Amino acid sequence: MKQKIHRKSVVLAVALIMLFLLSAFAASATGAAQVYWSGTRSLPIYSVEREDNKISISFDCAWGTEHTDAILQALSAGNVRATFFMVQFWTEKYPDYVKKIDENGHEIGTHSATHSYMSKQSETEILGELRSSSEAIEKITEKRVTLFRPPYGDYDDLLVDTANGMGIFPVQWDVDSLDWKDLSASDIAARIVERVKSGSIILCHNNGLHTADALPIVIDTLRAKGYEFVPIGELIYRENYTIDASGRQIPSAQS
């Protein structure tokens, strides 16, 4: 009888271990889940603890420029400075747009050299991607790159630690517009407005089909709610901070 109970206990323990491992594997598949398992992880910045209602809107640049002029016009009309994350091959293909974005007062960060899953790369490969992509941007703007958004929102400890070690802040987002899915302007605006809080970082794309049409709604609505748009470099803390399990950057005095 004791042997039977012991056998059942062993089976139950094995089952629980398997369940935990499967859950961990599933959780590691998405950026949001990576935050969930962040107890022992190095995390990028998803949002910032602020009480002044400052927020940032950002655009990933990897494919095309067909809708970029309209986006820049909407930002200019709304007197909003944003942050653009550029992949190296996009930077080199569209140097005139890099210059135009910079001259319009927007901030530029790197989105890698090759838009690869960088959690699969070695430290040498990561260093190479961040250096070459930053240099491509700096050659045009003559401004140092200090921000980095991992492609696909994919990262691991090595990527985050390597970027930080180079003085480049890894940045994610806590508000996803899903504009790459070609949602309508009203749907994009609703997704953003409903999710924003003080210190939020909004994710958009430079070539979203209806992004430009959504921007005036987003800007006017959030301004009416008391929010102020600033580039990510002016939103984040550059020293004396911690990052909690949700990826929220918190000044040390509050941590």
Q: What is the DSSP string of 142-171?
A: -S---EE--GGG---HHHHHHHHHTT-EEB
- Paired tokens of 193: 């407005």
Q: Is the pLDDT of residue 101 over 80?
A: yes
pLDDT digits (tens, 9 = 90+) for 199-240: 999 999 999 999 999 999 999 999 999 999 999 999 999 999
pLDDT digits (tens, 9 = 90+) for 41-97: 899 999 999 999 999 999 999 999 999 999 999 999 999 999 999 999 999 999 999
Indicate if 98 and 28 belong to the same structural domain: no
Number of H helices, E strands in the chain: 10, 11
Domain assignment present for residue 42? The answer is no
pLDDT above 90: percentage of residues in the chain:
82
Q: Is the pLDDT of residue 12 over 80?
A: no
Domain assignment present for residue 41? The answer is no
Indicate if 11 and 53 belong to the same structural domain: no
User: Which residues are registered as beta bridge partners of 47?
Assistant: 248
Residue 172, domain CATH: 3.20.20.370
Measure CA 47 to chain center: 9
Indicate if 16 and 123 belong to the same structural domain: no
Number of domains present in the structure of the chain: 2
157/149 Cα distance (integer angstroms): 14
pLDDT digits (tens, 9 = 90+) for 176-204: 999 999 999 999 999 999 999 999 999 99
Q: Side-chain half-sphere of 46: how many Cα atoms within 13 Å?
A: 23
Indicate if 87 and 158 belong to the same structural domain: yes
Indicate if 133 and 29 belong to the same structural domain: no
Domain assignment present for residue 245? The answer is yes
Indicate if 64 and 16 belong to the same structural domain: no
Indicate if 137 and 212 belong to the same structural domain: yes
Helical axes 157-165 vs 123-141, angle rounded to 10°? 40
Indicate if 102 and 137 belong to the same structural domain: yes
> Could you tell me the residue range of the domain that residue 128 belongs to?
47-254
* Helix (H/G/I), strand (E/B), else coil: 14: helix
**In this structure, are residues 104 and 76 in contact, taking their beta carbons and an 8 Å threshold?**
yes
179/169 Cα distance (integer angstroms): 24
pLDDT digits (tens, 9 = 90+) for 140-153: 999 999 999 999 99
Smallest CA-to-CA distance from 96 within 119, 68, 71, 115 is with 68
Q: What's the N-to-C CA distance of the chain in angstroms?
A: 53
**In this structure, are residues 123 and 131 in contact, taking their beta carbons and an 8 Å threshold?**
no
175/177 Cα distance (integer angstroms): 6
- Tell me what the mean pLDDT of segment 15-40 comes to: 38
Indicate if 19 and 145 belong to the same structural domain: no
Domain assignment present for residue 53? The answer is yes
Domain assignment present for residue 73? The answer is yes
